[in-house]
């Protein structure tokens, strides 16, 4: 396999041939040059990669009633939302803050679905006034609260019940949110009663059913199982005289970080449509809530090597490559023991050594990659790959570290879409006592 094909995010991410300098490029732009121009740590995204990831869903759904709602918690920067809004995409939100971002980015509020186990009354009212497409309701008490808020405003809230399909853990152990015993969704066994209750409340209007069974799923089987469970319920609920318009199968499709081979979105969609048709539900509108699979492989996090700290490897020590990005910029390795690719932006002639790539934060858990073979020197720029999802949105200011800047590449254009945070901004809201 050549180096280019091995990069997750190809064809947008590619490396020049060694004879041509071996520079790493995203959407044609040399990443080392962007690091030089904008500083590090720096998130760089390819708009082309985001558009093509969305198109993979939309193309497979063409000719069918459908809506793709980008699960924006994966990356909610305004220019990212703008990219999807311009392509006709809706949004899956989990807070009033995210709703405000959709508005600020020019998104279509009638294409917004509002998920989450703990919506406040204020958030419900905000979303009702904004005219969102539907509330994905996760409990019976939430139905009652939403009904009361809607009646107060003289409105009716469109609702879909998030059902926990309890797909077989033995078969699909990696599914983390669609099983009994987690906080998400209404148990499958309780769902018919919850629909009856919803239909009886004057402030609510039943419009759909949904589920979201987990994240970084790399097979289609769990989705088909979940869809079957949803359709069983749809049939039971409609037999009880309550119409259900749309079926929302959630998000969770995985991406390639290392050697994962998730199905293409088009294949997943085709299999789900086939199952809908086979069960006589082909007329239903199908909703998706992809997050990671739309943005994950579209972004990298650039970081500069600060210090090389060789260890006494023969005594079980480690070689540390200390970089200027840390767990506050990208928490996935520290939080989930996630493996993310690390590539030098320019290739060096020196021999490779095995390094633990770590940040400057005062925590032993502050690492980006363990045991990586890299030919590096201080001042080199490294790219953390597949950093477009759950990077910036999960970042923090731990150790009073300002958050990174973000750049969006769009063909020949380079847009700075978020300025680097200033240190002064970090404590601007704080007050000394008298
Ligand atoms: C997080 C989330 C998603 C998106 O998950 P990904 O794994 O990023 O695709 C979709 N729907 C809901 C309700 C979520 O909480």
Nearest residue to 325 via CA among 342, 350, 338? 342
- At residue 313 the predicted structure's pLDDT band, cuts being 50, 70 and 90, is confident
Instruction: For residue 18, give the DSSP letter.
Output: G
pLDDT attached to residue 1: 37
pLDDT of res. 144: 98
- pLDDT for 146-162, tens place per residue? 999 999 999 999 999 99
pLDDT value for 380: 98
Residues 97, 398: Cα–Cα separation, whole Å: 21
Is the per-residue pLDDT at 171 higher than 50?
Answer: no
**CA 251 – CA 217 distance, rounded (Å):** 9
Confidence of residue 314 (pLDDT cuts 50, 70, 90): confident
Cα distances from 155 to residues 53, 126, 150, 206, in angstroms, run: 36, 12, 5, 14
CA 26 from centre of chain: 20
pLDDT digits over 253-303, tens only?
999 999 999 999 999 999 999 999 999 999 999 999 999 999 999 999 999
pLDDT at 4: 44
pLDDT score, position 181: 66
Reply yes or no on whether the pLDDT at 350 is more than 90. no
Look at residues 290, 357, 291, 279 and name the one whose alpha carbon lies nearest to residue 318: 357
367-397 pLDDT, tens digit per residue, is 999 999 999 999 999 999 999 999 999 999 9
Residue 324: pLDDT band (50, 70, 90) is very high
Q: What is the pLDDT of residue 170?
A: 43
Q: With a 6 A CB cut-off, is 252 part of the ligand 1 pocket?
A: yes
Task: Report how far apart, in Å, the C-alpha atoms of 32 and of each of 37, 41, 122, 387, 412 are.
Answer: 9, 12, 45, 16, 16
Rounded to an integer, the average pLDDT of 17-34 is: 95
pLDDT top residue among 180 and 87 = 87
State residue 173's pLDDT score: 55
* Cα Rg, the chain, nearest whole Å: 23
- pLDDT of 230 over the 90 cut: yes
Helix orientation angle between 47-61 and 78-86, rounded to the nearest 10 degrees = 40
Helix/strand/coil for 181: coil
Catalytic residue among 89, 211, 350, 362: 362
Domains of the chain by residue range: 13-46+297-426, 115-290
Atom of ligand 1 nearest to the CA of 217: 7
**Contacts with 173 (C-beta within 8 Å, 6 or more apart), sequence order:** none
Q: What is the DSSP track for 72-100?
A: GGG---HHHHHHHHHTT-EEEESSHHHHH
357-388 burial, b at 16+ Cβ within 10 Å, e below that, comes to: bbbbbeeeebbbbeebebebeeebbbbbbbbb
Q: Return the best residue to mutate from 289, 299, 336 for the ligand 1 pocket (most ligand atoms within 8 A of CB).
A: 289
Does ligand 1 come within 6 angstroms of the Cβ of 212? Answer: yes
115-290 adopts what CATH topology? TIM Barrel (3.20.20)
Strands 134-137 and 157-164, sheet pairing: parallel
Whole-angstrom CA distances from 9 to 182, 230, 258, 406 are 33, 33, 11, 18
**Whether the domain at 13-46+297-426 and the domain at 115-290 fall into the same CATH topology:** no
- pLDDT score at 169: 43
Superfamily of domain 13-46+297-426: Lyase, Ornithine Decarboxylase; Chain A, domain 1 (2.40.37.10)
The residue whose CB lies within 8 Å of the most ligand 1 atoms, and thus the one to mutate among 251, 254, 298, is: 251
Between the CA of 290 and the centroid of ligand 1 the distance, in Å, is: 6
Asked whether the predicted pLDDT for residue 362 surpasses 50, the reply is yes
Please tell me which residue, 249 or 317, carries the higher pLDDT value: 249
Q: Are 306 and 378 a contacting pair, CB within 8 Å?
A: yes
C-alpha dihedral sign at 291, 292, 298, 304? positive
**Catalytic annotation present for 362:** yes
Question: 162 pairs with which residues across the strands?
Answer: 210
264 touches 220 (CB < 8 A)? no
pLDDT at 71: 98
Computed over every residue of the chain, the mean pLDDT equals: 94
Cα of 259 vs centre of ligand 1, distance in Å, is 22
Q: How far is CA 146 from CA 143, 191, 242, 327, in A?
A: 5, 17, 19, 38
Partner residues linked to 43 by β-bridges = 301, 406
Question: What's the confidence (pLDDT) of residue 206?
Answer: 98
For the CA of 74, the closest atom of ligand 1 is 8
Quote the pLDDT of residue 21.
87
For residue 304, is pLDDT > 90? yes
53 near 293, Cβ under 8 Å? yes
Cβ–ligand 1 contact at 98 (below 6 Å): no
Distance, in Å, from the CA atom of 252 to the CA atom of 71, rounded to the nearest integer, reads 10
Q: Is the CB of 250 under 6 A from ligand 1?
A: yes
Q: Look at residue 176 in the predicted model and tell me its pLDDT.
A: 60
**In this structure, what token pair is assigned to residue 351?**
């021999």
């Amino acid at each position: 396999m050549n180096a280019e094909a091995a990069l997750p995010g190809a064809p947008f991410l590619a490396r020049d041939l060694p004879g041509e300098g071996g520079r790493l490029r995203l959407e044609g732009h040399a990443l080392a040059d962007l690091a030089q121009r904008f500083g590090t740590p720096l998130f760089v995204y390819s708009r082309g990669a985001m558009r093509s990831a969305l198109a993979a869903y939309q193309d497979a759904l063409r000719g069918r009633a459908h809506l793709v709602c980008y699960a924006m918690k994966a990356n909610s920067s305004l220019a990212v939302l703008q990219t999807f809004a311009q392509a006709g995409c809706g949004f899956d939100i989990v807070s009033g803050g995210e709703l405000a971002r959709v508005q600020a980015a020019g998104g279509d509020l009638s294409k917004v679905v509002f998920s989450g186990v703990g919506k406040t009354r204020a958030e419900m009212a905000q979303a009702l006034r904004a005219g969102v497409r539907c509330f994905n309701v996760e409990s019976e008490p939430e139905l009652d609260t939403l009904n009361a808020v809607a009646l107060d405003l003289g409105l009716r809230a469109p609702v879909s019940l998030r059902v926990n399909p309890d797909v077989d853990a033995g078969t699909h152990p990696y599914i983390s949110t669609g099983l009994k015993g987690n906080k998400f969704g209404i148990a499958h066994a309780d769902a018919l009663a919850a629909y009856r209750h919803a239909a009886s409340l004057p402030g609510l209007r039943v419009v759909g059913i949904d589920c979201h069974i987990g994240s970084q799923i790399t097979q289609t089987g769990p989705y088909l199982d979940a869809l079957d469970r949803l359709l069983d319920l749809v049939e039971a609920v409609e037999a009880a005289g309550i119409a259900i318009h749309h079926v929302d199968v959630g998000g969770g499709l995985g991406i390639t970080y290392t050697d994962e081979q998730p199905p293409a979105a088009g294949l997943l969609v085709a299999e789900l449509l086939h199952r809908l048709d086979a069960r006589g539900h082909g007329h239903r509108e199908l909703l998706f809530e992809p997050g990671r699979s739309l943005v994950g492989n579209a972004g990298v996090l650039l970081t500069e090597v600060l210090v090389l700290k060789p260890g006494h490897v023969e005594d079980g020590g480690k070689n540390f490559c200390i970089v200027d990005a840390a767990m506050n910029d990208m928490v996935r390795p520290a939080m989930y023991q996630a493996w993310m690719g690390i590539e030098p932006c320019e290739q060096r002639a020196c021999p490779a050594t095995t390094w633990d790539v770590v940040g400057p934060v005062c925590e032993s858990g502050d690492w980006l990659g363990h045991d990586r073979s890299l030919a590096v020197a201080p001042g080199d720029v490294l790219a953390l790959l597949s950093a477009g999802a759950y990077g910036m949105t999960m970042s923090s200011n731990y150790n009073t570290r300002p958050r990174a800047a973000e750049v969006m590449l769009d063909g020949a254009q380079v847009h700075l879409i978020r300025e680097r945070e200033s240190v002064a901004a970090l404590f601007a809201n704080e007050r000394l006592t008298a």
